[in-house]
A and B are shown apart, each in its own frame.
Chain A
Amino acid sequence: MGENGMKNSDIKICILRIEGTNCEDEMYYSFERLGAKPELVHLKQLIKRKNLFDYHCLMIPGGFSTGDYVRAGAIFAALIKSRLVKEIKKFVEEGYPVGGVCNGFQVLVELGLLPGFDRKMNVEAVLTINDSNRFECRPTLLKHENNGNSVFTKKIKKGKILMLPSAHAEGKFLFPKNREKKYLKRLIDNDQIVFRYVNEKGECAGYPWNPNGSFYNIAGICNPEGNVFGMMPHPERVFYRWQHPDWTRTNLKNLDGDGKVVFESVLEYIRKRF
């Protein structure tokens, strides 16, 4: 319980959907199972009838919004930019958490909220077509590399390895070629790197451990303030241990699924902060 006595049941989550989003139901249940009050909100509802500031957190789910036309997430981002840009900017500035998974990560990057170096919502990175030129769908191992800046992973120890499923065709994180080194240094200095693809030993490795050829094996990052977070793999798909592919082969049956802690972390942040 936070200083104001806020409970999980007081926390309202806006899960934003449009045509082609998926896994929003899994995301909804992930929050509901923890006692929070999620709501599936269509972008049109948010533009016309609802107020973003009625919620404590904005989540953009995975999927193939608007058929992935133009580029994955580009049209969803353009729609948000055209009608909600002021609200979202203020929401982020006031410290409310914004999270994107898979397609949601692509939307946040296309919106310019991630990596968010200049705070002016300029596009500074891209999630582009996988090196393999195909849809990569498999469990991936992610090493948590954040030192405590990211509000979505505060409860995960640095160095811990999680198994979360990846399912995307456009997940290769890239910076502009001529600014790669500069931007990477900024990511590290600001503690913005959250997850990196690793092998069984916890070392950064190539394909298939890194399913898309992502620069610096980046799987998830946050903004400099830590309240905007995006990742390609799906934490909402492994809320329970039995959703892990190796469930029957391991002795971890009584543990939680590896994705659950992401939702717990953000709820804890909201309870403490608001």
Chain B
Amino acid sequence: MYHVDVIINLKKGIADPEGVNTKKALGMLGFKVKDVSSAKIFRITLGVKNKKDAEKKVGEMCRKLLANPVIHDYKIMVK
């Protein structure tokens, strides 16, 4: 069994209003923040035989549902 973390983040140059607003709020709380960007993590448990299969399957999931290729990059981390 493998646990896989997938981070879905916005591509460079794509507006990230959630990040911008969070930065603003942190600034108002007195934190000096240079940049904030938002991302999403999906933690997926798979019953596959090896690490390679886990990576392949999750890659397919990203292409079919988890990420939109127009605005998202994704990073797969198998534990």
User: B-contacting residues of A (Cβ < 8 Å)?
Assistant: 70-71, 74-75, 78, 81, 110, 123-126, 128-133, 172, 174-177, 213
Note all chain B residues with C-beta closer than 8 A to A133: 17-18, 20-21
Query: Using an 8 Å CB-CB cutoff, how does the interface string of B44-79 with A read, 1 for contact, 0 for none?
Result: 000000000000000000001110111100000000
The list of the 9 closest CB pairs from A to B, nearest first, reads A133-B17, A126-B70, A78-B65, A126-B68, A133-B21, A176-B70, A177-B13, A126-B71, A129-B17
- Residues from chain A with a CB closer than 8 A to the CB of B11 are 177
Q: Are A131 and B70 in contact (CB under 8 A)?
A: no
Cross-chain contact B65 with A124 (CB below 8 angstroms): no
Contact A131 to B17, CB < 8 A, known contacts A123-B70, A126-B70, A126-B71 = yes
- Tell me, rounded to whole Å, the shortest Cβ–Cβ distance linking A91 to chain B: 22
Task: For B68, give its contact among A123, A131, A132 (CB under 8 Å).
Answer: A123
Determine the chain B residues whose CB is within 8 A of the CB of A176 once the complex forms.
Answer: 69-70
8 interchain pairs, CB-CB under 8 A: A74-B65, A75-B65, A128-B14, A128-B68, A129-B18, A133-B18, A133-B20, A176-B70
Chain A residue nearest to B20 in the complex (CB): A133
Residue of B with least CB distance to A77: B65
Whether B14 contacts A131 by the Cβ 8 Å rule is: no
Chain B residues contacting A125 (CB-CB under 8 Å) are 70
- A110 near B68: Cβ-Cβ < 8 Å: yes
Q: Which B residues lie within 8 Å of A213 (CB)?
A: 15
Give chain B's interface residues, CB within 8 Å of chain A: 11, 13-15, 17-18, 20-21, 64-66, 68-71
Q: Which residue of B lies closest to A75 (CB)?
A: B65
Q: Is the CB of B15 within 8 A of A131?
A: yes
Contacts of B17 in A (CB 8 A): 129-133
Given contacts A130-B17, A132-B17, A177-B14, contact A70 B66 (CB under 8 A): yes
> Smallest CB–CB gap between A131 and chain B, Å?
6
Q: How far apart sit A126 and B18, CA to CA, in the bound complex (Å)?
A: 17
Contacts of A70 in B (CB 8 A): 65-66
Contact of A78 with B18 at beta-carbon distance under 8 Å, contacts A128-B71, A174-B71, A177-B13 already known: no
Interchain nearest-CB distance for A110 vs B (Å):
7
B20 touches A174 (CB 8 A): no
Q: A123-B69, A133-B18 are in contact. List 18 more A-B contacts (CB 8 A).
A: A70-B65, A70-B66, A75-B65, A78-B65, A123-B68, A124-B70, A125-B70, A126-B68, A128-B71, A131-B15, A131-B17, A132-B17, A174-B14, A174-B70, A174-B71, A176-B70, A177-B11, A177-B13
- B65 contacts across to A, CB distance below 8 A: 70, 74-75, 78
**Cβ–Cβ < 8 Å partners of B71 in chain A:** 126, 128, 174
In the assembled complex, the CB of A123 is this many whole angstroms from the nearest CB of chain B, namely 6
A273 to chain B, nearest CB (A): 32
Instruction: Provide the residues of chain A in CB contact with B18, threshold 8 Å.
Output: 129, 133
Chain A: minimal CB distance from B59 (Å): 16
Contacts of A130 in B (CB 8 A): 17
Bound complex: CA of A125 vs CA of B68, how far in Å? 9
B70: A residues at CB distance < 8 A: 123-126, 174-176
Nearest chain A residue, comparing its CB with the CB of B22: A133
List residues of chain A with CB within 8 A of the CB of B15: 131, 172, 213
